[in-house]
Structure 1
Amino acid sequence: MEKKKILVVDDDSRNIFALSAVLKSRNFECISSSTAKEAIDLLRSDMPLNYVLLDMMMPEMDGYEAISIIKALPNRQKLPVIAVTAQAMVGDREKCLLAGADEYISKPVDIDKLVQLLSKFK
């Protein structure tokens, strides 16, 4: 079975490390980026990717702004973007989905729940 590739975008290297380690143990291949701008540059390439896990609260460019740019890229409109945020207040999920995210998960990330979310996208 071919490994699914995930781009993990988070300004905190500890989050990238933890998420990547657990996802790799679940047979995912992880690529990481510490800024939204760097992630968008990566996404402009032809690199095959299956999902983007996008931290919503980052300096310079937040996830909300990044989603609209990612979804406007000609080769990435159907790429599932999962918003990852520490904000788990009422309305945050809706705000992320309205911004264009395909799904939402709160931090700390429940890996079983995340893998279940990812399995919805074929």
Structure 2
Amino acid sequence: MVEKKKLLIVDDDPYIIIAIRTLFEEEGFEVFAANSGIECLDFLEKENFNGVILIDLMMPIMTGWETIDEIVKRGLNEKLIISVLSAKDIPNEKSNTMRYITDYLNKPFENNELMDKVNSYFAYE
């Protein structure tokens, strides 16, 4: 049996989570969601997650950047492909964190573009 492709959405906007979840579940993905960086870290600590993380940068309490830094610090990034979703440009001071990011996708995004990008990440597994 072929294992489902796994996707973790990390975003504080419930509408973004619903839209992305619906899109990918219809394509047969196993989709998980976290409303915050803290929830993301808790999930990764408890689950043996091997897949793609789509993470928003602008979240309250713990930003996407801080979440990615903490994922790396805790050694949770081994089986992950991290892709950033954001309406903002990447600041230069984040260049160290950038090496852990596979891709950067601008919001708003086209559904077919997002699907193509995520599917392409699984081609490298």
TM-score, with normalisation over the residues of structure 2? 0.82
Partner in structure 1 of residue 106 of structure 2: 106
Q: Aligned pair in 2 of structure 1 residues 27, 98: CA closer, same or farther (>3 Å)?
A: farther
SS at match of 1:38: helix
Q: Give the letter for the 1:107 counterpart.
A: K
Partner in structure 1 of residue 25 of structure 2: 24
Q: Report the CA distance between 1:82 and its aligned residue.
A: 0.6
Structure 1's unaligned 5+ residue stretches are none
Question: Does 2:80 correspond to 1:79?
Answer: yes
Partner in structure 1 of residue 115 of structure 2: 115
Q: Give the letter for the 2:57 counterpart.
A: M
Q: Give the letter for the 1:38 counterpart.
A: E
What is the CA–CA distance in structure 1 between the aligned matches of 2:110 and 2:41, rounded to whole Å? Answer: 26
Structure 2's unaligned 5+ residue stretches are none
- Aligned pair count reads 119
TM-score, with normalisation over the residues of structure 1? 0.84
Tell me which stretches of 4 or more aligned residues in structure 1 moved more than 3 Å: 93-98
SS at match of 1:48: coil
Q: Report the CA distance between 1:79 and its aligned residue.
A: 0.8
Identity of aligned residues (%): 29
What is the CA–CA distance in structure 2 between the aligned matches of 1:96 and 1:9, rounded to whole Å? Answer: 19
Partner in structure 1 of residue 63 of structure 2: 62
Give the conservation status (yes or no) of the 8 Å contact 2:6–2:29.
yes
Q: Report the CA distance between 1:47 and its aligned residue.
A: 2.9
Q: Report the CA distance between 1:64 and its aligned residue.
A: 0.7
Q: Aligned pair in 2 of structure 1 residues 108, 78: CA closer, same or farther (>3 Å)?
A: same
Measured on the aligned residues, the alpha-carbon RMSD in Å equals 2.1
